[in-house]
């Protein structure tokens, strides 16, 4: 009799778990809705957020948070959406926060995104756009071969998808709906936030950490299933400007100073192997992402990245040295370099709080996911938040090939990301 009772209890528990998993597919429907809203940010904007269109998604999220039943739902003048899921336990436990960013990268178009779900991916080529012969292939992107059998969301090959980070937004929203619908899952107070302008390095410029009121938080802004990230690049941007002198090329000897030519020389003076295409793991780089110019004026825009603080400073010094060398040849005001630090490696701010990472690791393993703790070759809002007093490591979303037209999202990864949020909330609520 006891054996039958135990079996029945296990069956009920299994059905509840399966019910919860089914409800998690809500994350996909939310994601497909969000990516159709253009929220692309802009690097050279003087407004905050950098584009007004980011408010379009923010307003949708406000409505959905209210429909779910969260409290203190707010949208401020900076585009931050915040809300509270009150505690349903009497235990005194930490307040945990979950964050994701609403904007998409300026590196590829975010207008008129046409997502498509490839069911039970067979491991071969995915034709994104037959007319334009745009194909997502495991020959070029071998990581997708490991996703055989999973459902994938892809683009039509003309825009990015927006999984970075609308997958994180969808995972958090679905998790909040799950927690609200299942009061038997005991949890403490939960704070959520959706931020603008992360892709242009300004995501938390105006974020009020004390008002947010979390003891620690997680960004849901990572990549493949299982990634757990608490180490990221130190980051800076560099703007190089070259001033030249234009004269008729027929009489240019000894008088012309060709700014475009000097800009090319500047780039060639930088370390040749410290480029993104030549680096991996913890290796840093100097990346030229934009250039323009003529004889009179030229401009080069770079980002500088390194996990190691000393090597980070060395890369910045290499750029100044290149400018000094050219100024000695062509005149002291020929080349200027303006370098602005963007964010720093969050590892040293998170490691003093092992309980934060322990909660994430246990949540992963409870759900059958082995954590893959890797250094982020990029940054998240969490890196800056950690230096603002809010330890904020990063959770996976299931996406890949971010910032381009070959971007994709694993539906399994998305659903698991939402489950992880729920489980972390439950673990923190247990005290």
pLDDT in tens, 86-96: 999 999 999 99
Which amino acids are annotated catalytic?
A: 103, 198
The tens digit of pLDDT for each residue in 91-117 reads 999 999 999 999 999 999 999 999 999
The tens digit of pLDDT for each residue in 293-349 reads 999 999 999 999 999 999 999 999 999 999 999 999 999 999 999 999 988 999 999
Token match 């959770």: residue?
395
Q: How far apart are CA 218 and CA 268, in angstroms?
A: 40
* Residue with more model confidence, 400 or 21: 400
pLDDT interval class at 24 (50, 70, 90): very low
User: Cβ-count burial of 278 within 10 angstroms (0-12 exposed, 13-18 middle, 19+ buried)?
Assistant: exposed
pLDDT, residue 97, reads 98
Q: How far apart are CA 207 and CA 74, in angstroms?
A: 13
pLDDT, residue 379, reads 77
Question: 49 preceded by cis ω (within 30°)?
Answer: yes
For the chain, the domains span: 2-232+345-429, 235-342
Q: How far apart are CA 257 and CA 253, in angstroms?
A: 10
The dihedral through the CA atoms of 16, 415, 396, 421 has a sign that is negative
pLDDT, residue 431, reads 86
Q: Within 13 Å and on the Cβ side, how many CA atoms surround 313?
A: 2
The tens digit of pLDDT for each residue in 207-260 reads 999 999 999 999 999 999 999 999 999 999 999 999 999 999 999 999 999 999
The residues pairing with 409 across neighbouring beta strands, listed in sequence order, are 153, 399
Q: What is the CATH number of domain 235-342?
A: 3.30.70.360
Q: How far apart are CA 57 and CA 47, in angstroms?
A: 17
* Mean per-residue pLDDT, 362-367: 98
Q: How far apart are CA 371 and CA 311, in angstroms?
A: 28
* Mean per-residue pLDDT, 197-216: 96
Q: How far apart are CA 57 and CA 81, in angstroms?
A: 10
pLDDT, residue 320, reads 98
CATH architecture of 2-232+345-429: 3-Layer(aba) Sandwich (3.40)
pLDDT, residue 89, reads 95
Q: Is residue 364 scored above 60 in pLDDT?
A: yes
Token match 């209890």: residue?
9
Tell me the whole-structure pTM to 2 decimals.
Answer: 0.85
């Amino acid at each position: 009799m006891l054996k039958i009772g135990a079996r029945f209890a296990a069956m009920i528990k299994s059905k509840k778990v399966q019910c919860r998993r089914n409800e998690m597919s809500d994350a996909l429907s939310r994601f497909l809705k969000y990516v159709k809203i253009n929220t692309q940010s802009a690097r050279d904007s003087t407004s905050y957020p950098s584009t007004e269109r980011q408010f379009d998604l923010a307003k949708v999220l406000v409505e959905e948070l209210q429909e779910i039943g969260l409290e203190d739902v707010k949208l401020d003048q900076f585009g931050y959406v915040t809300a509270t899921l009150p505690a349903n336990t009497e235990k005194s436990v930490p307040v945990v926060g979950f964050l994701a960013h609403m904007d998409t990268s300026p590196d590829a178009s975010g207008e008129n995104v046409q997502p498509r779900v490839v069911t039970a991916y067979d491991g071969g080529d995915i034709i994104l756009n037959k007319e334009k012969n745009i194909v997502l292939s495991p020959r070029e992107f071998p990581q997708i071969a490991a996703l055989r059998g999973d459902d994938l969301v892809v683009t039509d090959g003309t825009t990015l998808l927006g999984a970075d980070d609308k997958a994180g937004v969808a995972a958090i929203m679905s998790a909040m709906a799950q927690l609200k619908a299942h009061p038997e899952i005991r949890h403490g107070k939960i704070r959520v936030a959706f931020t603008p302008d992360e892709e242009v390095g300004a995501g938390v410029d105006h974020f009020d950490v004390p008002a947010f009121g979390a003891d620690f938080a997680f960004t849901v802004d990572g990549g493949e299933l299982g990634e757990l990230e608490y180490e990221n690049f130190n980051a800076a941007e560099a703007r190089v400007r070259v001033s030249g002198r234009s004269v008729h090329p027929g009489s240019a000897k000894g008088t012309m100073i060709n700014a475009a030519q000097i800009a090319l020389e500047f780039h060639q003076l930088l370390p040749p192997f410290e480029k993104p295409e030549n680096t991996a793991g913890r290796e840093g780089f100097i990346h030229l992402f934009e250039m323009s110019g003529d004889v009179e004026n030229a401009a080069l825009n770079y980002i500088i990245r390194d996990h190691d603080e000393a090597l980070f400073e060395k890369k910045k010094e290499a750029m100044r040295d290149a400018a000094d060398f050219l100024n000695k040849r062509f005149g002291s005001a020929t080349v200027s370099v303006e370098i602005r630090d963007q964010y720093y490696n969050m590892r040293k701010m998170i490691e003093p709080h092992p309980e934060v990472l322990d909660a994430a690791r246990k949540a992963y393993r409870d759900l059958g996911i082995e954590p893959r703790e890797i250094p982020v070759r990029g940054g998240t809002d969490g890196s800056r938040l950690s230096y603002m007093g809010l330890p904020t490591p990063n959770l996976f979303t299931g996406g890949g090939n971010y910032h381009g037209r070959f971007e994709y999202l694993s539906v399994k990864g998305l659903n698991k990301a939402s489950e992880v949020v729920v489980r972390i909330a439950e673990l923190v609520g247990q005290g």
